[in-house]
Structure 1
Amino acid sequence: MNSSLKLIIITTIALITLSYLAPYIITAEASSLNTKEFIVVDIQWVTSKGEKAIAPGDVVSLTITLKYCGDSQVSGVIARLALPQHIVPYGGSEAIASYGGLISKSSPIVQLHYQLMVLSNTPIGVYHLTLTLDYDELNISSNSWMHKTETHDLVMFIVGRPKLNIAIVNKSLIAGSQKVTLSLVNIGEKTAWDVVVEVTSTSALILNDTIRINSIEPGDKEYVNVWLYVPSSLKGSTLT
Structure 2
Amino acid sequence: METLDKFIWVVFPYLCIAIFIFGHLYRYGIDKFHWTAKSSEFIEKKQLMMGSLLFHMGIIPVIFGHIGGLVIPISWMNAMGVSPHLYHIGAIYIGGIFGFMTLIGMFILTFRRFTISSVRKLSSFSDLAVNALLLFIVFVGMYATLVTNIVQPEFDYRMTISVWFRDLFLFNANPAIMASVPLSFKIHVLTGFAIFAFWPFSRLVHVWSVPLNYVGRSYILYRRHKPTN
Which category of TM-score, normalised to the shorter sequence, fits these structures?
under 0.3
Select the structure that is richer in strand: 1
Q: Looking at CA atoms only, which structure, 1 or 2, has the larger radius of gyration?
A: 1
Provide TM-score, normalisation by structure 2.
Answer: 0.17
User: Which fold has the larger relative contact order, with Cα–Cα distance below 8 Å and residues 6 or more apart in sequence?
Assistant: 2
Provide TM-score, normalisation by structure 1.
Answer: 0.17
Select the structure that is richer in helix: 2
